[in-house]
A and B are shown apart, each in its own frame.
Chain A
């Protein structure tokens, strides 16, 4: 549980978004996140996010698959149950390549998708707070977190200056919780915020 206060700025177009994000960061605000309906390229860099290492994880999973497949099959054919198939070699490497390859791909893909879901906290019945319901449709949402250094008024003023079409303040749970989307979301007040701080 971490209930926080956010100032939410809404943009109709992605064009002013980059300059706005840059300016907001320059002025020392903490951007909680930017929500977009499609991947806006370069936004991760503008936000100063580091490159994801998901692909490295994928490589490691793949190599694990290669090792398991190859060592298992060679153990079966040479140690556990050596079969004489027409006098052919017990360790026929070329014939083991197809399964090794398939298993490598399988491990890499499954491992990566699971890691992706784990990192992003994606699972069935997971619910998260939505700052704007059209962020998955056509709106671009910049969310500034209110901290001791940046007050609600400051953030609102900055967003207004930077051309946000709509600005509001929300107190919300910033993590995920179990739940379905047909239920009303719990409303938090200033008191909850104070309680959460302690």
Chain B
């Protein structure tokens, strides 16, 4: 009761308009309780078509073998692993927002955490497809599981970064899913209790697991979220660290660097936030949620983008510096011949990456541009293009000319089915996201309610007025806080 729930008046409100608890429920559940718009149907159809194309591409790869792709002995990873790392990177923002920002007590996370977590889960599902189908004989995929088998018993190699990845990604997926679903329970209960239609009451009743809103349950719920956040924080950092180990523990010039873990994690957060921006800017408009995902939210995420983008930029420059400073001829070749040289076969991808990831996000130092929706949307797409280039640069430019010139590969461009697989994961991602936007509350209702009296526009204005009138803060909090 004694905790003063006071927030500086300098911070803008996180919920616009004059909302009360009931209005929040009404607004957020509106898309679920009404029939989907035409725009939703069109988007969903496109996503499903892409997914079907992807399934066909994968079918070809499984049936005819990995030769359906243009990867070869020299460039063994190509688009496939590029796309894997790209999707995993995107899958980092959700848990960062829900876990790390929970620990830092950032109120603004409540507006975007649900959708960002959903995005994380879908992105990780997409990411997982790539290494699985890259195996070629996908029906042997269970070999990665450590089980006593008929060949020994011979076990998987627990000291291999590729196996660490299996554990990291599956743990990350499981924990993100649990975190997300446990947070959904109260909101499902809200839908259930409002439902007038029979099947909806039944469906959400089953999904809500019998949630009632009991104080004891809330107490355990909060303890659970806090510990899951505490677990997810090192987890989210570990996942991309381990992905970077896939590269860093090898002896390939351009991969064999100690800077990789922090550099990959920063890059992951960078691309993840960009994806959240892309999705949120559209979602808030289509579902009419501008009062919950406000310019304030967009601006803070842009601040994270400029920070992580600059960290990534420093990492790029550090790599170049180390390649020169070490005087290692192979490193020098990888960085100064294959990458930074604009006239080398893949020089365009390196400079595309530099332009998209390092130079262009710097515009977010200006408040006016941070709060501009068109600029933000354009930038968010650009950043994800740039981050795709980053992974492509790392994989392809380090591989295409290895230590043995006779095995050099001149130029690698993907086959139709390689591209089809990538497009298919877009289909999968957006199919999931469209279904999510229709059947799930895209904003955590209970969490938004819990910040209403701290960051809601109505209360914020009241707060400001009290401050101007020099009312004592104790008097104000007594009136408005629920503590």
Q: Which residues of A contact B (CB under 8 A)?
A: 14-15, 17-18, 33-47, 49, 52, 54-55, 58, 62, 72-73, 76-77, 80-81, 83, 85, 92, 95-96, 98-99, 101-103, 105-106, 108-110, 112-113, 116-117, 119-128, 130, 133-138, 141, 176, 180-182
Contacts and interface: CB of A to CB of B under 8 A. Distances in A.
Most buried by B among A38, A98, A133, A135: A38
B159 to A, nearest CB: 4
A124 B231 contact: no
Most buried by A among B20, B194, B214: B214
Contact of A137 (B146, B171, B174, B194): B194
Contacts of B189: 136
Interface stretch (B55-63, B72-80, B160-168, B303-311): B160-168
A117 to B, nearest CB: 7
Interface of B: 1, 3, 20-22, 25, 146, 152-155, 157-159, 161, 163-164, 167-168, 170-171, 174-175, 178-179, 182, 185-186, 189-190, 192-195, 198-199, 201-202, 204-207, 209-224, 226-228, 231-232, 234-235, 238, 242, 245, 446-447, 449-450, 479-480, 482-483
Contacts of A62: 231
Nearest to A72: B146
B184 to A, nearest CB: 12
A122 B483 contact: no
Contact of A37 (B21, B216, B224): B21
A47 B245 CA distance: 50
B248 to A, nearest CB: 13
Given A42-B3, A85-B159, A180 B202 contact: yes
A130 B202 CA distance: 15
Contacts of B218: 36, 38-40, 43-44
Contacts of A44: 215-216, 218-219
B174 A136 contact: no
B237 to A, nearest CB: 11
A44 B214 CA distance: 10
Contacts of A119: 220
Contact of A102 (B152, B171, B198, B206): B171
A54 B226 CA distance: 11
Contact of B224 (A80, A116, A176, A181): A116
A133 B223 CA distance: 25
B210 A123 contact: yes
Contact of B227 (A15, A55, A121, A123): A55
Contacts of A54: 220, 223-224, 227
Nearest to B235: A105
A182 B164 contact: no
Contact of A124 (B207, B223, B234): B207
A49 to B, nearest CB: 6
A180 B153 CA distance: 48
In the complex, the 4 A-B pairs of residues with the closest C-beta atoms, listed nearest first:
A181-B205, A138-B21, A126-B210, A95-B159
Contacts of B159: 85, 92, 95-96
Given A98-B168, A130-B212, A181-B195, 4 more contacts: A41-B3, A81-B155, A109-B175, A120-B220
Contact of B205 (A37, A43, A55, A127): A127
A138 B20 contact: yes
A128 B193 CA distance: 12
Contacts of A76: 146, 155, 158
A84 B461 CA distance: 70
